[in-house]
Structure 1
């Protein structure tokens, strides 16, 4: 065997375009994908009947449409229409070249129909059978291909991922450990959600690794681990470009079928009308009679034998190119060099008609050349100890490598609607979860409307201006249905009939696929599922709270809070947001909120302190609707304004820990900033039940600078509670 590995990944995805009414042109996208891509790929798997180590990703919209009886029956009608058109064409006076191509199509459409009926009109059965036989591996995608870097909430990202996995598991009988992130779009933090949902690998573009920190030692010759332990497999653009590149790729060879020339536009309207849309619209039939020929409008007729000859040539060339590529990196070990080649499945067959046959021939050539193929799952099984962990920034495989395709002047208007829907779902699930079976179903239907709206396809279509009107109408319809059902929920107007009508419009997913708890915030999940009669909590405000802090104020805060939690206290910690840590996390009895400010770009330190304190106050007043607090404890001067306001407005005792003061840090200080901090620090003494200071601070010296009263004490040992056994509730006069 040659050194190294080759891994082919095919991602099958279409937007959910199932409509109850007949003659929707968009539904033909499904027919074309089945005829030109999905069944032809299955033919190659069936022909070779051995482990190919191809990984096939099928998105939930495709899975659902393949399983839909309405689409299944309409596809059979489509095949019959095609066979009727081919028969009509053969009855006409056509050239020998045309007749040869028509005979090829007649046999092909008979084979398509036989294959489709063999699998009981459900191609999921075929893919599942071949996967269970060990010929291919399978993964899936998120629920509707939502572009994850633009999702506003963690809950939306989790719902997309979990719902997609649930749908796939229902159809395929297992839960994959790999996932295709829509548009190969990775953003920091999504890996934590993936890992928590059982995902161990995904795919990224090669620049994700080349620009990583640190740059991986193996370059793109091996996957890397993200910070949360998800393996990222990079696309090898040198090898992939042999197929997809418009300049050097195989699909542009003159002997291959021309995609842009269809029989529907070569025939008179009176002749072709009965096979077209009843409203008088021409559309592609799929009978493309010409070959690429060259850069000219004059196209020669397609000659199947010539195309098959080029398939053989190109499969051999691909194997030789891959062989040279692997040999050039043959010295790499631990792990051996890996070439990962992820593609949209529809490239093979739909865009490049001969593509599925090419893949089959490549599989044969690789075996002849001694090149080992491998799935990402098998690669990790062998080499999980050999991978490096790096930090990867946001990236995609789209135009220019980032998010330009999915946010620009043509589609940016969609984001504000999507973000509002996300936030409303977080609120609605917290407010209405488990009130009744009907409200739970309504919440699931709201999630269904949301995921159908968040599909990246709508933004992609608007960017490309292909079927832009349809994309905009679909997006607006899902947002309208969401608003209509949410209003009914608020007004106690949800009924069986209303839910039936909403589902019938787009019968995507089963209710069992949708977990409404995925839209619960971590805190709401705790409140609604775990907290019963929780005792009053300690509220802590601190400018530092990170697990990696080794000394100073931060260490004192962590140690004291952990000691109080060990005593049985419930502690809520509010601290500034940190972009490498979650906004909320629970550590036993400790609830940590990392609070964002609404004005993050203020330069003056006092403005920063003010906005941070305002954010603290707003969050605590929301929490106080569900959480009972018994004491406010703040650390350092930067949290004094919020701590004082909260102690007063919630009628709670205030405890202060000041390990340093501006006057002790800077005894010769003067000026506006010094005076402002000094005034804030001075205000803590009359407001606090107790003020604890560091052992190195002389209370006698402190009195020279501040209006110190009898409530000032040296810090207690960590193991001693500052609150003691006394009642924490102030007497409100």
Structure 2
């Protein structure tokens, strides 16, 4: 009797910390979202929409964090992103003119001009700036399963208060949703072939070099007006070189057609390896195997420019393979005859698999403040029935500030050493605001003007239930 197909479950985790600075016209940190939209989310949507149009079989899972969704829906950030895309089109047009006598680089300048124009039309004309509805349409078409994570991507194992903090993070994220916990271990081989710095596909010599960008390569006078407020040099998205050879600094011009062919080859290789791996596992188990292949979404497009194209080819290869099927984990679990049961232990995707990234000498100082604030929030929330309307508003905003302070991104940035002052400032800022609000609620003397200011600066989670913290 022929064994039923095994399952390949590709999961993209899409997350960014909540960054919104109305007080700065063009902040470097808001550009994290804009780069992710241009290089990851719009290209992924285009790939998945093309599959939906031809009713292609196969499904992936995308985890959209609540903070990312909030930024997708924010009118200020939508307007700023549209302006930013328009400026990228202008920059690319200037590059087309500048390279008109350079046969090596003008095709690339044209490539980026058309790419930026396509993204602007996609965002403005097709989506009307509503990216969330585009993801929803793909869910309804059957191309993706959408899931989420904790409200601000808090690192739950280090929240000493336990259940109330977990409940606030998870309950705020999945309000009005019925769900049960399912734990799946990621497949190490699937991760290695994509993530590994030495063996992973993204390091291939034909692929685009991320670290060579015109934001750094062009003279400052030619790019100054396209840089964020303050004139800090940063990536602008026009990258003219391929990786070539990691062992030397020399880089050859990027060739999109060559990279595209390589992405197709790598997709075929990936699927062959997964199919053979699944067959060996299913023979041992006596039932279909489930291979979970989770990746940070921004690997696809932002860090690995060819990633969305590669993923589309993987799904097409899976559709032709007799032994493996690309589905979402929930469907796979429903179709597997039996699954293991066990206890969950703290773990992560981080270095070493545990908490080392989020707890070391660079960031350990934050936890005594975060956990003490969580205890104070619990005490406030337990007395919520006694508060008047202004106190209730302040209590809800205190909850927002605590959730934002708990974002795991700040500890991560401190550990990696990138933009550490910003991560420290955000942690301290939200804790300071929490402290002022907590004092106002506790004393019954809420500063209404200050509260309104905080609500305007951080309008995330408008329906937050402060009772989740009790």
TM interval, shorter chain, is: over 0.9
1:206 aligns with: none
Residues 334, 386 of structure 1: 8 Å contact kept: no
2:145 alignment partner, SS class: strand
2:200 aligns with: 249
**Structure 1 segments of 4+ aligned residues over 6 angstroms from their partners:** none
After TM superposition, give the deviation of residue 434 of structure 1 in Å: 4.4
CA distance in 2, matches of 1:517, 1:278: 40
- Which of 5, 9, 12 is the equivalent residue of 2:14? 12
Higher helix share: 2
- More contact order relative to length (CA 8 Å, sep ≥ 6): 2
Show CA shifts across 1:699-721 (max 9, x none).
Answer: xxxxxxxxxxxxxxxxxxxxxxx
Task: Determine if the alignment matches structure 1 residue 85 to structure 2 residue 113.
Answer: no
2:249 aligns with: 297
- Which of 479, 491, 497 is the equivalent residue of 2:443? 491
Counting only pairs closer than 5 Å after superposition, residues 155-554 of structure 1 correspond to structure 2 as 155-166=164-175, 175=177, 198-200=178-180, 230-295=181-246, 296-333=248-285, 335-370=287-322, 371-383=324-336, 386-510=338-462, 512=463, 514-520=464-470
Show CA shifts across 1:194-246 (max 9, x none).
Answer: xxxx432xxxxxxxxxxxxxxxxxxxxxxxxxxxxx32111001122111111
After TM superposition, give the deviation of residue 324 of structure 1 in Å: 1.3
Q: Check 1:5–1:74 CA distance in 2 against 1; reply closer, same or farther (3 A cut).
A: same
- Which of 106, 109, 112 is the equivalent residue of 2:113? 106
- Which of 116, 119, 122 is the equivalent residue of 1:115? 122
CA distance in 1, matches of 2:174, 2:404: 16
Q: Check 1:86–1:340 CA distance in 2 against 1; reply closer, same or farther (3 A cut).
A: same
Give the TM-score of the pair, scaled to structure 2. 0.94
Q: Check 1:280–1:397 CA distance in 2 against 1; reply closer, same or farther (3 A cut).
A: closer
After TM superposition, give the deviation of residue 492 of structure 1 in Å: 2.1
CA distance in 2, matches of 1:115, 1:488: 46
CA distance in 2, matches of 1:497, 1:393: 45
Higher strand share: 1
After TM superposition, give the deviation of residue 165 of structure 1 in Å: 1.1
1:590 aligns with: none
Larger Rg: 1
Q: Which moved more, 1:142-151 or 1:366-375?
A: 366-375
- Aligned pairs, number: 459
Show CA shifts across 1:372-425 (max 9, x none).
Answer: 122111123233x61222123222221111111111100000000101111001
Give the TM-score of the pair, scaled to structure 1. 0.61
CA distance in 2, matches of 1:2, 1:266: 53
CA distance in 2, matches of 1:479, 1:492: 20
After TM superposition, give the deviation of residue 86 of structure 1 in Å: 0.8
Residues 2, 327 of structure 1: 8 Å contact kept: no
Residues 97, 303 of structure 1: 8 Å contact kept: no
Show CA shifts across 1:163-221 (max 9, x none).
Answer: 0113xx6xxxxx3xxxxxxxxxxxxxxxxxxxxxx432xxxxxxxxxxxxxxxxxxxxx
Residues 4, 288 of structure 2: 8 Å contact kept: no
Counting only pairs closer than 5 Å after superposition, residues 535-614 of structure 1 correspond to structure 2 as none
After TM superposition, give the deviation of residue 33 of structure 1 in Å: 0.6
2:60 aligns with: 54
Show CA shifts across 1:96-154 (max 9, x none).
Answer: 12111111111111110111121110210100111012221110111000000011221
Show CA shifts across 1:294-343 (max 9, x none).
Answer: 12212111111111110111111111111211122232456411111111
1:97 aligns with: 104
CA distance in 1, matches of 2:215, 2:330: 44
2:29 alignment partner, SS class: helix
2:160 aligns with: 152
After TM superposition, give the deviation of residue 490 of structure 1 in Å: 2.6
Task: Determine if the alignment matches structure 1 residue 33 to structure 2 residue 36.
Answer: yes
After TM superposition, give the deviation of residue 276 of structure 1 in Å: 1.8
1:524 aligns with: none
CA distance in 1, matches of 2:200, 2:450: 51
Residues 242, 252 of structure 2: 8 Å contact kept: yes
After TM superposition, give the deviation of residue 278 of structure 1 in Å: 4.2
